[in-house]
Structure 1
Amino acid sequence: MKLLSDKIVAVVLACAVVILVVFAVVQTNWTNKFIRLSEAQREASLRTRVSIARSALAPILQRYAAGIIGKSEACAQASALLSQMTYDDGESRNYFFLNAMDGTVLVRPYRPLDVGKKLLDEPNSIGQYPMRLVLQSVREHPEGSFVRYVFPRPPSQEEEEKLSYVIYVPELDAALGTGTYVEDATVQQLALLRRSYLLAFLLASLLAVPFGLFLLVVRKRNAALVEEMSKRRTAIEAMEQSRTRFQTIFETVNDAILILDPGTLRIKEANASAQRMFGYSGEEMARLAGGELLAASPDDGEEGAVPLERTREHGPQTYESRCRGRDGGSFWVEISTRMARLDGEDAILAAVRDVSERRKAEEALRESEAKFRSLFENMAEGVALHEFLYDADARALDYRILEVNAAFETQTGLVRENVVGQLASDCYGGEVPPFIDEYAYVASTGNPLVFDAFFPPLDRHFHVSVISPKKGFFATVFTDVTQEKISEQHLKESLHEKEVLLKEVHHRVKNNLQIISSLLKLQMLSSGPEAQPPLRESANRIATMALVHEHIYQSPSLSSIQLRSYVAKLASHLLRSFAGDKRIESVVDIPEMIISVDKAVPLGLVLNEVITNSVQHGFAGRNDGRIAILGELKNDVLDVRISDDGVGLPEGFSLEGATSLGLQLVVNLARQLDAALEVASDQGTVFSLSVPL
């Protein structure tokens, strides 16, 4: 019996050991499952909240993608929206954050001073760089990932471990996320849970055999209960997420949202935008009827209720109406209504958008169009709008007349009704439309073009300006200049006649001067030796002036001559006249330039006197010599230098004391030219003249 008892005890102990081992394994598994379930629930909660925030940003991102707003405005609206979206995570109020990918903080509600700063290089107390960790996680997993780091908890600012979930928002090039703090209390609770399980294990070990079957039954019932609770929790979370998403959108959209009772049309709820738009508080809104609020005046309440009743009976409605605010001011709105099921009850959902600015813009556009139409119709110039027609190879074939103004009819003689909508080739005749190459260039490149042309179909001259408002289209602004062209041609003919006459006058003056020069030379042949030099000098002076007139009638211009050729001919003429048997070389280096007759005559006379003086007096006792005439143009001043390699000037010579007629002429002509005159004698004679032009 004892053996039996010992055997029974051994069996019981063995069973207890087996139960202990099995319980330890099960207990460890359950603990790990509990920890994983807690973490999974926490991560699922973070994912859900970030998804809600991303959904709330969708309208802003859509307006940005459509080009309605710019990126800076989209960032500003997103920041304003996220700053208002705080939530209760069970321990404290929590928030969403938004960071640009360059490390700039865009949204951080509990640390507003950080907004706008780049915090890539800001470490925490354990040497981590939270901003870098967040951005690195987004770059590696743009669809969403978790990241752990130590971060100050508001409002105490004590650093604690934080688990965040972040996603990439490509439209804003930013990281959107939220997080929760992993408190020590959670770890302590888990430790307490393990100790309680251990104590329960010890107790269960003592009662394993009698309560084994009971525990199995309880476990099965608990499993069923946990499954049922899990289903209910999932359903509740789904409803809460839907409600949160709706509430977030309801409170953050820019449009006014009204929820109305379909029976009484009373306002049950109004979002913040509606309160701002109409100037009423939420409590005041609840005392108003929808038709009364959505009418231009209190007397129009019944009229304002008609579309709401139509929504109830016929479905969604969209219309524009004038509404009034609390201050009595009226404004235009666009109202979209539809039936909805909210919290198990039917309701009319009305979205109200202020379109006052749009209607003002439309009115301004209509006024602008009217002004431009009036300008278009009353312009003195003819205006025509055209559209090009192209073949399969994008070659311009013809162009169609789209619109013309009244001046078009006046200047072309064509009737608007007969040309608008017609092809140019049909209106003007001919296989090739007029000026198609010029017009095609403007329509394809957008570069404007201005030209004068004779228009054979109308037998008229036009001044035409061509512009292209967009590719494939062009507009012509033209003026009939036929009379101007005729007058211009008459003027050209008259001017040509006068030019011929003036050239003939210069030719006759030159001939008369040459006759006078020849008479002086004949007089010189019959005069004595003392009279010949003065007569020769006078003849050369006259020849110098005659040479100017010769260049004038040979020149395209009647008021100026080519200086270089004039000086070269003048020097050659003087050397032939005075050099005789002497071999005197002349070097002329004058710039190619045009000089007026007023400057050419006195300058030619100065050159005549100086060259004559060099030939007659500079080479006494010599049969050869060199005269150089050099010129340089600097800053509208012509510097002329006449030099020879002769005997030079007598000692003590000065221009002021010169008594000869030639040198006195040089001084007076220099004054006439307003020129600076200098004389030097260094291995010959040098006359320098600076003539302002």
Structure 2
Amino acid sequence: MLRLPGSIRLNLILVVLGGVLPILGVVLGSGWERREHEIDHVGQTTLRLAQYYAHQQTSETVRLRAVLTSLAAEPAVRENNIPACTALFRDVLLGNPNCVNFALMDADGQALASALPFTRQNLADRPEFRQAKATGQFSVGEYAVGKVSGVQVLPYAYPVYGAGGQLSGVLIVSVRLQDIATVFDQSMMPPGSFVGLADREGRRLYRHPPSPRTPVGKPIARDVWDRIRAGSEPTIISAVASDGLRRIFAAQSVALPNERQPYLTILVSIPENVAFEAADAVTSIWLAWAGLSLALATGLAWIVGRYGIHDPLIRIVETAQRLGDGDLAARSGLARRRGTLGRLAQAMDRMAQSLEKDRADLVATRDALAREGIRRQTLMNSSSDGIVVIDSKHRIVEANSRFAQLLGYAPEEVVGMLTWQYEANFDETAIRRDFADALAVRGTFESRHRRKDGSVFPVEVSACGVAIQGEAFFVAVVRDITERKVVEQALRDSEERYRTLFENSLDAIALIESPPLRLIWVNPAFCKLSGLAAEAVYAMTAEEIWNLAHPDDRQELRTRLEKRLLAGLDLGRECYRIVCGDGRTRWVEMTSRRLGGVGAPAYMTIYHDITEEQERAALLAAAKEQAEAASRTKSEFLANMSHEIRTPLNGIVTILQLMAASGLTEEQADQARMALAASRRLTRLLSDILDISRIEAGKMAIVQAPFNLRRAMTEVRELLLPTGDPPGLACTVSVDEAVPEIVVGDVTRFQQILTNLLGNALKFTASGTVAVTAVAQPDSPTGHPRVLFSVADSGLGIPKDKLDSLFTPFTQVAQGYRRDYQGAGLGLAICKRLVGLMGGSIGIESEPGQGVVVHFSLTFGLPADVLPQPAAPRPRATVLGRLNILLVEDESLARLAIQGMLRREGHEVATAENGREALELATREAFDVVLLDVQMPVMDGLEAARRFRAGEAGHEAAGWPLVAMTAYAMEGDKERILAAGMDGYVAKPVELDALLAVIAQVVANRDRRGAGLGAAEK
């Protein structure tokens, strides 16, 4: 039989629901159909986009196949003409911006040519190379990151056949995978959508937009891939993707014309919840209308049921419930209502009034008793200790909540327990014996109680016997002393640990009390260090304690420590000597800490024996002094040897230059040129030796100044190849556009590095190519530009077992009596050290017969405001006309040669052998330029320059240009000589062009100063 609810309002609401629920069913069914329609619509949309991408990819593959077929037919490619192929590939790459690189491999996979700069590499293991070589057909490879470009690429390959029909190589083109993002963005797909590419193994090649949860190079979701492979083309599925979202996928595969297996699968995905948004929005609107209708109908039914029937009955029921619950003051308030409900309410109100009067008397009596019990119980429960009342039979009759908490029981559970059920130190027999007379018990003792879980804890019990209405009871106050026991044990353990630590410490430890100063405790290590027994230490007076310090350290140490003792500060850290009991002297390092507490201030001091450290420090200081002395001796020796070698070498070089211009026969001129070249080589060797010595001594300074990087590189090439490229050799210099034009660094040292490397490349490359490149790298953490320089040649190459030793001074690849190339083996060693001083790194790559590539990376600064001005053209002596020159040189050979060279240039030359003769000659004759040797007898060149400037040779002579010609050519010599009053500087051995250039410069400077003075006077 159907049973309806007893509530009137609920029955009315059920009637309303019966009419509305079918409408809700219709709305939900319609919404489900709309969701299915949206899924189909979204699937078709994503499929069209995937098919568009597939069509584009197929077209691009056909186009690339045509490009590679055309390239394979080029004669340069078929003949493996590397320079021509490189130029051809660069042109083709410019016309194919979606491609990353075009490269040619030989039949063994070795790289021959590339549109981008590359190092030697082998691609024989790459799938596209193997397939193209095996099938002789256009092939596609697998996803990779380009070794040269560093971007994500998909490689294609095509075989190349030579004139005889033999396979001569394989063309490789790498296509970047980022170019489909633009079309996807323009398609205005919903949020959360993406387009992706997968290879034949299901590995993700590309995803736009990217997501950290789905990185490129990882497999896509296995379920998605399996369903795509199992379905027919094209494929539309709904599955959970790698990012955890349920998505609608449209997939279209792309395969080569001669292959059934697709090499690429294009996926377009939209989140399923995005597809449902439109359908769910319509359903939500209909549900809202249906819900509103239901709410209005239900509300009307609720109002009628409540105010017509429900509320009066509820008031009568509530009144009855309140009466049943003991609220005798409850009244219905419906006594004046007519009808059956009104009469029922009147009868109930009269019954409640009668019961209320009877109950009032009982409540008054009960409340009085309750107040007394509450007061007593509150007093017991407010105690932080347990309180228990035990009868003479040792049974608990009452206990406060704290006592029950201590034992782990509920308060009602402890009542009725026997004392031996929770007492752990006494059993039943002992309790009945020792506590037989309750009134005789009075005192405090420690015991142990047992909790409900069986654990035992220490307690302190204060018990006494009382008599209540003639019956004896025990009243006990129980306190948990677990923490107190733990603290007491911890104090004992701590004291024992520290005593063991101090007694066994290898360092001497002492406790000092002050004032008065005395040692109150020392460990055995202190007695061992001081050579005194503990009893003797404890008996020492303050003066005897101070006397432990060495006499030379005592007074100063005592003054410092007494100030700290008086101020109540830590004694700090002190290093000093002590005198042991056996007369030995030991160095100690003392550290101290002031200890808190009552009484006289105490200090814990620790003494560490550092005698051996002090002795080692003294030995190190002596060794350092010896090393510094040796370094100074070496520097003085190098400076002297440089001067002594350059002086006679100057005479040789100048005489040879004079001879070369004196009308010799062709054979004699060749001999003079060879002798001059050998002398200059000796000069460069001397400079290299001095450079490596200065670097090793740490005296090589790196200058930071703005300079034009491209101009500096071009100047090095022009210096080494002044007449252009030799026959059969092409030397190029190229700088990346991203490299700054003006940088801040040491241009002299930079050009020295580049000169050595380019010079080596030219020396060891008889024919072929030498390429110098500069490529920008990512900026340093400080924001300064970094540049990678490379010097690559196609010369002989270097065996791998020789590479590690190339940067060692005086080391060459060819050793022994057979030497095909001259050199001292210092160039690369200097380069490595200079690169290190400039904060960079250097490396070398080579194989025999494959040439050499030397890379070095430098970090430059950027100029703030001042940029270097273009270099002024070097003045030439030929435009100066006839000059009257005073040559001051004590070496007769050099004096004769330089005088002859200058006279051949059309100048008048007077000579002097020392500074004094020069001053005397200058008082009688006027000169345009004075050339001064620095080291001369009677009066050196620097002293002569100072006297010229002081006017000892006359007022006009004080302004003459002074040029130093000296064999002092080490670091800092030029600056020191110019600071002495010189206007120019020429290092020996003197080169005629360099000398004429300096003379032209100082004379031009003199003329500009004279013109400026004349203008000022006007």
TM range (shorter): 0.3 to 0.5
User: What TM-score, normalized by structure 1, do the two folds share?
Assistant: 0.42
**If the length of structure 2 is used for normalisation, what is the TM-score?**
0.30
| Structure 1 or 2: more helix by fraction | 1
